[in-house]
Amino acid sequence: MPHDSSPTTTTTKTTSTEAYISKFLPDPKRVAIVGCPFSGGQPKPGVDKGPIHLVEAGLPDQLRELGWEVTFDGHHQFEEISTLDDPPIGILKNPRQVSKVCEAVAKTVEGHAKDGQLPLTLGGDHSLAMGTISGTLSQYPNACVVWIDAHADINTASTTESGNIHGMPVSFLLGLDATIPEFAWVKPKLTTDRIVYIGLRDVDAGEKRILRENGIKAFSMHEVDKYGIGKVVEMALDHVNPKRDLPIHLSFDVDALDPTVAPSTGTPVRGGLTFREGHYICEAIYETGCLVALDLMEVNPSLADAEAVKQTVAVGCSLVRSALGETLL
Ligand SMILES: NC(=[NH2+])NCCC[C@H](N)C(=O)O
Ligand SMILES: [Mn+2]
Ligand SMILES: [Mn+2]
């Protein structure tokens, strides 16, 4: 089955198998797809269908063609909590549901990582990263996080204006606001010097203050324009992983891409990464040999016409392929 930017199966397979040297994963390379049809971290229905579309578009086979052993045991089944049993905490929406789901995802991701597999989590909304990154850090305590997004997702209970928890996972992981007992399982295992952002362009006032006060490194679209994506990725890695000897968790929110490239997502923001800039990031991270976990989040197949949905799903698949070793030559 032909797909964007991979001319032939043979070329892809040969190049990637030869080039692959992971500093942390055993051979043969194995990826575990964790499909997370979850939308409770934000109000727009449909983002829960993202992982289903990505898998139906053939992502598992595309990764097999790249030489990976792929396990996919069906999408995650989540225990439903009725909204009656999950009233807001402050203005946080669906807090118990989000917490429970993320806790389960953390265990799943941790299990795959312990088993030597690379967990690939398909969202679903970005609140899930609270779970995926917790899981990664259980196995790799010194892992660093590269967060690709239009948004910083670092609001706390006191700064969030929306109450949507997908705008908050980073603050939980850093322990910036450890006052909500419902989220007590999220251990603040991430430190402010082990996360770096690329692609930001819609950051709330409270979030800007948090980034500044904590000295958190972020490359907004301004820096991408100024230095070019090649230099930005190098500077980002020099910050979180100067010797390229730490495991990397890459959390990619598809809304980092420009809405002309990835239109079908819940919180699109103009002025984003081009198709190539997005793919370059994934390729460069793969080349470090340090990637141990990957998230692809916020694909929402209900927010555009059929053609735009197809485009968004296809770009999601190809970002994942680039992060897992697809090369242009
Ligand atoms: N994962 C995302 N798409 N997050 C968007 C967050 C938007 C806004 N900053 C909020 O807190 O609600
Ligand atoms: Mn975003
Ligand atoms: Mn996000």
Mean local confidence (pLDDT), 2-23: 52
pLDDT band per the 50, 70, 90 thresholds, residue 19: low
pLDDT digits (tens, 9 = 90+) for 132-175: 999 999 999 999 999 999 999 999 999 999 999 999 999 999 99
- Residues belonging to the binding site for Mn(2+) are 126, 149, 151, 153, 253, 255
pLDDT digits (tens, 9 = 90+) for 187-213: 999 999 999 999 999 999 999 999 999
Which atom of ligand 1 is nearest to 169's Cα?
A: 1
Dist. CA 19–CA 61, nearest whole Å: 20
Question: Considering only CA atoms, which residue is closest to atom 3 of ligand 1?
Answer: 267
R_g of the chain computed on alpha carbons: 18
Known catalytic residue at 298: yes
Mean local confidence (pLDDT), 303-313: 97
Tell me which of 86, 110, 207, 255 is the catalytic residue.
Answer: 255
Average pLDDT, the chain: 94
Q: Is 201 in the pocket of ligand 1 (CB under 6 A)?
A: no
Separation of 316 CA from ligand 1 center, angstroms? 19
pLDDT above 90: residue 43: yes
ipTM of the complex: 0.97
Q: Is 44 in the pocket of ligand 1 (CB under 6 A)?
A: no
Question: Considering only CA atoms, which residue is closest to atom 8 of ligand 1?
Answer: 167
Which sequence spans correspond to the domains of the chain?
Answer: 9-323
Q: Is 277 in the pocket of ligand 1 (CB under 6 A)?
A: no
Mean local confidence (pLDDT), 219-226: 98
pLDDT above 90: residue 2: no
Closest CA to 147 of 131, 125, 126, 122: 126
Superfamily for the 9-323 domain: Ureohydrolase domain (3.40.800.10)
Three-state SS for the chain is CCECCECCHHHHHHHHHHHCCCCCCCCCCEEEEEEECCCCCCCCCCHHHHHHHHHHCCHHHHHHHCCCEEECCCCCCCCCCCHHHCCCECCECCHHHHHHHHHHHHHHHHHHHHCCCEEEEEECCHHHHHHHHHHHHHHCCCCEEEEECCCCCCCCCCCCCCCCHHHCHHHHHHCCCCCCHHHCCCCCCCCHHHEEEEEECCCCHHHHHHHHHCCCEEEEHHHHHHHCHHHHHHHHHHHHCCCCCCCEEEEEEHHHECCCCCCCCCCCCCCCECHHHHHHHHHHHHHHCCEEEEEEECCCCCCCCHHHHHHHHHHHHHHHHHHCCCCCC
